[in-house]
A = this chain, B = another copy of it.
Amino acid sequence: MASVSCKTLGIGLAGFGTVGSGVWNILARNGELITDRTHGSVNLEIRKVIVRDLNKFREADAPDEIFDTDLALLIEDPSIDIVVELIGGTQAAFHLVAAALKAGKPVVTGNKALLAERGKELFALSAEHKTPIHFEAAVAGAIPVIKAVQESFIGNRIESLTGIINGTSNYILQRMTEAGLGYPEALGEAKELGYAEADETLDVNGWDAAHKAILLASLSYGTLINYEDVYVRGIEMVTPLDIRFAKELGYVVKLLSLVRQHEDGSIEIRTQPSFISAKHILASVNGVFNAIAVKGDAAGESLFYGRGAGQEPTGSSVVADLVEAARLMEHGGTHRGFLPAEESPKLMPIEDTATPYYVRFKVTDRPGVIAEIATVLAEAGVGISGTHSPSNPEDPDADFVDMVFLLHKTPFGHLKETLAQVEALDSVTERPVVFRLEKL
């Protein structure tokens, strides 16, 4: 039973789109449950919602009188104890979050771009004003991976993080795999179903996933990684042909974000479409679901899987953060888990990161081509673990054929130099297509 005498905390929401209305609905439905579960100590009330346009259709049924258009009200109004930033972008959001921290109002945000790009300044303000920023909703929707890395794995050196953390890309790749769709058709389908935004850029170019990986890596290694130093490739150039070949070879193509600490302490961090074994548990992460494998030196490999986006899944993480914020306000604690330190960690240059590869060449179909390519590879010391070149059933007599080589583990820089030599061969007619074969 909720205690009647408990203090109610006033929440101010900036933004009332998908996630904002999810937060409203969850608190309307389960607010009393939260109060019961905390034995009356946590009572949350949304007292103000700031939107750009008061007349826009709202997905949740909140009373008109709490809506307003001036973000500054969330700072000025003394009845607002906690500020929830859900407006996105990095300009107005930065000013709001910074102002809230300076005013000593804890912040809950789901804005991964804001934290990945301006987190250093915000975490410094947070420390200076002893006012926490909570951001479970910024990475992987309902999946509590921030809490896992910050708290559950606090006794572990994090050896690696491997994630499928962009549902839009994952859905598109899945449809290309299952239905043989081309990229534009699969993207169109994702948009129709509401799985892709009107502007899909950050989802498909890999940056949404990369921002999340940067946050996870920063928490794992104690300092904010400079986003400009991170290697990111999207799924826009993935072809149905490579997806078909992947399948024939026992792999699936996934937009994979990978963070790994090497023995010299350097951090490998990259996001790119990669081949993973069709048998690995990450291969079965379908549709808009997300999954993150975390490997700690004590815990071993763990995997967290769930809804990576959506109204209530992401809202669920915002609400958990609100309860956390309320508890910290009650007990006077500040941040939990790791805090970014001053110096930047040493990143491993992308040229030094080594994996096996899938490389597809478009070649003139004449005798001796395989030998020519294999000779260049051999002279460069790049081993071949397999080849794949099914004849084209629609045109078995074609002049140009696709020739796949599976290559042994090689630093990416060396591979690029070697492939430049292969590309210079007369018989090779297009730039080679490269995917990493990730051993997970």
**A residues whose Cβ falls under 8 Å from a Cβ of B:** 22, 26-27, 29-30, 33-34, 36-39, 136, 142-144, 147-148, 151-157, 222, 281, 284, 296-307, 310, 312-313, 315-317, 319-320, 323-324, 327-328, 330-333, 336-339
**A299 B284 Cβ-Cβ under 8 A:** no
Decide yes or no: A313 and B331 within 8 Å by CB, A33-B157, A37-B338, A339-B39 being known contacts. Answer: no
Of chain B, the residue at the smallest CB distance from A310 is: B300
In the complex, which of the residues B30, B37, B302, B331 contacts A332, with contact meaning CB atoms closer than 8 Å?
A: B331
A151 contacts B333, CB within 8 Å?
no
A30–B297 contact, CB under 8 A? yes
Closest chain-B Cβ to A387's Cβ sits at a distance in Å of 30
Q: Decide: A302 and B299 in contact? CB cutoff 8 A.
A: no
Q: Are A323 and B151 in contact (CB under 8 A)?
A: yes
A332 to B, closest residue via Cβ: B331
Supplied contacts A297-B312, A299-B313, 11 more A-B pairs, CB within 8 Å = A26-B156, A29-B297, A142-B298, A144-B144, A155-B319, A281-B281, A298-B316, A298-B319, A300-B310, A302-B305, A305-B305
B155 touches A299 (CB 8 A): no
Contact of A299 among B301, B316, B327, B331 (CB under 8 A): B316
- CA–CA, A36 to B338, complex, Å? 8
Q: How far is the CA of A153 from the CA of B306 in the complex (A)?
A: 12
A312 adjacent to B300 (CB under 8 Å): yes
The answer to whether A320 and B30 have CB atoms under 8 Å apart is: no
- A296 cross-chain contacts in B, Cβ below 8 A: 142, 316
How close is A312's CB to chain B, nearest CB, in angstroms?
4
B312 touches A299 (CB 8 A): yes
A271 to chain B, nearest CB (A): 22
- Oligomeric state, in copies: 2
Report B-chain residues with C-beta under 8 Å of the C-beta of A142: 296, 298-300, 302
A336 to chain B, nearest CB (A): 7
25 A–B pairs (Cβ distance < 8 Å), ordered by A: A27-B155, A30-B157, A30-B298, A36-B222, A37-B338, A37-B339, A142-B296, A144-B151, A144-B152, A147-B152, A154-B319, A155-B320, A298-B315, A299-B306, A299-B307, A299-B312, A299-B316, A300-B306, A300-B312, A300-B313, A303-B303, A303-B305, A328-B331, A331-B332, A331-B333
Residues of B within 8 A of A154 (CB): 34, 37-38, 319-320, 323
> Are B152 and A320 touching (Cβ within 8 A)?
yes
A304's partner among B36, B304, B332, B339 (CB-CB below 8 A) is: B304
Is B316's CB under 8 angstroms from A307's CB? no
Whole-angstrom distance from the CB of A39 to the nearest CB of chain B? 6
A37 touches B152 (CB 8 A): no
- CB of A37 within 8 A of CB of B281, answer no
Contact partners of A147 in chain B: CB under 8 A: 144, 147, 151-152
B152 A317 Cβ-Cβ under 8 A: yes
Given contacts A157-B33, A284-B284, contact A327 B333 (CB under 8 A): yes
Tell me whether B281 and A155 are in contact (CB under 8 A): no
Contact A336:B331 (CB < 8 A) given known A30-B297, A302-B142, A306-B301: no
Q: Is the CB of A148 within 8 A of B144?
A: yes
Q: Known contacts A298-B315, A312-B299; is A324 also within 8 Å of B151 by CB?
A: yes
